[in-house]
Copies of this chain bind each other. A is one copy, B any other.
Amino acid sequence: MSFHGSTARLSEARRVAIFGGTHGNEMSGVALVNLWIKNSDDIQRRGVDIKPFIANPKAVEKCVRYVETDLNRAFTPENLSASGGDEFPYEVRRAQEINRMFGPKGSPEAYDVIFDLHNTTSNMGCTLILESSKDHFNLQMMNYIKKAISPASCLVLLNEHPLLKYSTCRSVAKHAVGLEVGPQPQGVLRSNIFEAMRVILKHALDFIELFNEGMEFPPCTVEVFRVNERIDYPRDANRNIIAMVHPNLQDCDWEPLNPGDPMFQTFDGKTIPYQGSCTVYPTFINEAAYYEKQQAFVTTRRETLAASSIRKA
């Protein structure tokens, strides 16, 4: 990246991948990627090589999130630099393979953009997930997509938290974009979620084509929700869950949660209020896959990021 005046000059995005089935029971991405592998008309763009790719085929075959360990947590420096083979869990070996195909992570040879398609059981609507507040290419893409799909909306979740950030598949690319659409149960394919995901991808690829063709994108601001804190379910002394997400909070992803608001309801009917010191915006509320991660929801803070003007170098 270099600047000419206030405009950031960035390399073209020539190599783009679309991952589905990073979690094998999140069906929209699996169906879309399989569709595009058979017929790529939808995702062809001038001057861009776009590769649809099933990230965890064994998990897709079994219709489970993962076979041995969560692939979307496996792209750590330790895993990617380890040598050896069969003694590693399947997903660690798959992460190494993906890193060889689309990376190496952090290198100039890495893919320019990876979109990773996920579903959630939470009522999150269309959510784009970024890992850096300083990636002006991605921020401009977010701005472009938000404008293109208006009056429908999509929100941006920024996971830049020093402890809660995790080592995603898409982090192999120079620009990592997660797309999380819900609510959709695991193992279920809903036409409305499929369609919402398809439309967002369309606009994202349009943006890349326009950028590669030399369009300048003027400075803009992007509203994001920054990951703040992970909230676990209330538990007894044996670590068993003793409460559910409160009906007032269930399905209210992205809505303000204020100190004192109902947060959980115990099995015997007592309300547990939110005890934080300020308003937060919960998301991933009651996501099926996060019970095992001891997470009932994650709190976020609303923030406005500035993106500089960008143009192809």
Proximity bits, A87-130, B CB within 8 Å = 1, else 0: 00000000000000000000000000000000001000000000
Inside 8 A of A292's CB, which chain B residues have their CB?
Answer: 63
Is the CB–CB distance between A194 and B31 below 8 Å?
A: no
Kindly list chain B residues whose C-beta atoms are within 8 Å of the C-beta of A132.
none
In the complex, which residues of chain B have a beta carbon less than 8 angstroms from the beta carbon of A186? 185-187, 288
Residues of B within 8 A of A188 (CB): 121, 185, 286-288, 291
CB of B185 within 8 A of CB of A121, answer yes
Question: Mostly helix, strand, loop or mixed at chain A's interface?
Answer: loop
Q: Point out the residues of chain B lying under 8 angstroms from A287, CB to CB.
A: 188
Given contacts A187-B291, A267-B35, contact A244 B194 (CB under 8 A): yes
The 20 sampled A-B contact pairs (Cβ below 8 Å) are A31-B244, A35-B267, A35-B268, A63-B292, A121-B185, A121-B188, A186-B187, A186-B288, A187-B289, A187-B291, A188-B286, A189-B241, A189-B286, A190-B286, A191-B244, A191-B245, A191-B250, A191-B265, A192-B247, A194-B267
Residues from 123 to 158 in A contacting B, C-beta threshold 8 Å: none
Residue among A191, A247, A265, A268 facing the most chain B CB atoms (10 A cut-off): A191
- Chain B residues near A250: list those with CB within 8 A: 190-192
CA distance A190 to B247 in the complex (A): 8
**A15 interface residue per 8 A CB criterion:** no
The CA of A187 and the CA of B292, in the complex, are separated in Å by 10
- Total identical chains: 2
The reply to whether the CB of A301 lies closer than 8 angstroms to some CB of chain B is no
Contacts of A268 in B (CB 8 A): 35, 39
Interface status of A302 (Cβ within 8 A of chain B):
no
Query: Is A230 positioned at the interface, with any CB of B under 8 Å from its CB?
Result: no
Report how far A267 CA is from B189 CA in the complex, Å.
11
Given pairs A121-B185, A185-B185, A185-B188, 9 additional interface contacts (CB within 8 A) = A63-B292, A186-B186, A187-B288, A187-B289, A187-B291, A188-B291, A190-B250, A192-B247, A192-B250
Contact A191 B288 (CB under 8 A): no
Q: Any chain B CB within 8 A of the CB of A312? A: no
Q: Does A45 contact B (CB under 8 A)?
A: no
* Chain B proximity mask over A161-196: 1 for CB below 8 Å, otherwise 0: 000000000000000000000010111111110100
Counting CB contacts under 8 A, is A14 at the interface? no
| A246 at the binding interface (Cβ < 8 Å) | yes
A 263-313 contacts with B by CB, 8 A? 265, 267-268, 286-289, 291-292
**Most chain B CB atoms below 10 A, which of A190, A244, A268, A287:** A244
Q: List B contacts of A265 (CB < 8 A).
A: 191
CB-defined contacts of A192 to chain B, threshold 8 Å: 247, 250
Taking the nearest CB of chain B, how far is it from the CB of A248, in angstroms? 9
Encode contact with B along A218-244: 1 for CB under 8 Å, 0 otherwise.
000000000000000000000001001
